[in-house]
A and B are shown apart, each in its own frame.
Chain A
Amino acid sequence: GAGVSQTPSNKVTEKGKYVELRCDPISGHTALYWYRQSLGQGPEFLIYFQGTGAADDSGLPNDRFFAVRPEGSVSTLKIQRTERGDSAVYLCASSPGRGTYEQYFGPGTRLTVT
């Protein structure tokens, strides 16, 4: 079956611009996660959705970052007033739901802020 998909695969934007990154989870997966991976680091947790609600957004670095999942499926990560330090690979993962540890990752979106 189809895995997690993310679009775009690459995004180059200028400092100060607004960007949206999209994630399509595996069908039927109720849990969705966003992570950010900087060069030479492991993925770092940003936000977790169970269904439509953001159950844990403790990893979002500041209020320029926001994510939604209005219908409990597709999620969009939104970054306002981008900064060069936001450059990273943004990974989305999904899992079947409560009680499941294993997460299935998409290929990521590489964001470059110039």
Chain B
Amino acid sequence: DQQVKQNSPSLSVQEGRISILNCDYTNSMFDYFLWYKKYPAEGPTFLISISSIKDKNEDGRFTVFLNKSAKHLSLHIVPSQPGDSAVYFCAASNSGGSNYKLTFGKGTLLTVNP
């Protein structure tokens, strides 16, 4: 049972344009969400996060939007750069569990073309 779903295995965008990566979740107990970026042969790197009490969080070129009623979040990258090409994982956590373990989606491979 996949509790965090990233339905697009891959996405290709042109340099300078917006990249939008989507994520859906099914567990209503999740109250914190994170995006990680992963290059080949490296571990995932934390990118940005959002608490369920917010609907938007912005950090430079990266913005995460959360729609709790739809159990949906998205990551916007503007403008996209070739160095952003990587696999992006959506992850969720439940503070009530007291262990802060992360549940990940399968990832979306983003390719930014020069």
Contact = CB atoms under 8 A, between A and B. Distances in A.
Interface residues of A, number: 28
A101 B100 contact: yes
A35 to B, nearest CB: 8
A42 B100 contact: no
Contact of A43 (B46, B97, B99, B104): B104
B103 interface: yes
B43 A42 contact: no
Interface in B50-99: 89, 91, 93, 95, 97-99
Which bracket fits the contact residues of B? Answer: 20 to 34
A55 interface: yes
Given A42-B4, A43-B89, A103 B103 contact: no
Interface string A86-114: 00000101010010111111111000000
A33 B91 CA distance: 14
B113 to A, nearest CB: 23
Given A91-B44, A105-B44, A42 B49 contact: no
Contacts of B46: 102-104
Interface in A38-88: 40-45, 48, 50, 55-56, 59
A59 to B, nearest CB: 8
A55 B41 CA distance: 29
B49 A101 contact: yes
Contacts of A19: none
A23 to B, nearest CB: 11
Nearest to A108: B43
B99 A103 contact: no
Interface of A: 4, 31, 33, 35, 40-45, 48, 50, 55-56, 59, 91, 93, 95, 98, 100-108
Interface of B: 4, 32, 34, 36, 41-46, 49, 89, 91, 93, 95, 97-107
Given A93-B43, A103-B102, 4 more contacts: A45-B101, A101-B100, A105-B44, A106-B43
Closest 9 CB pairs of A and B: A42-B104, A105-B43, A56-B99, A45-B101, A48-B99, A105-B44, A101-B32, A107-B43, A102-B46
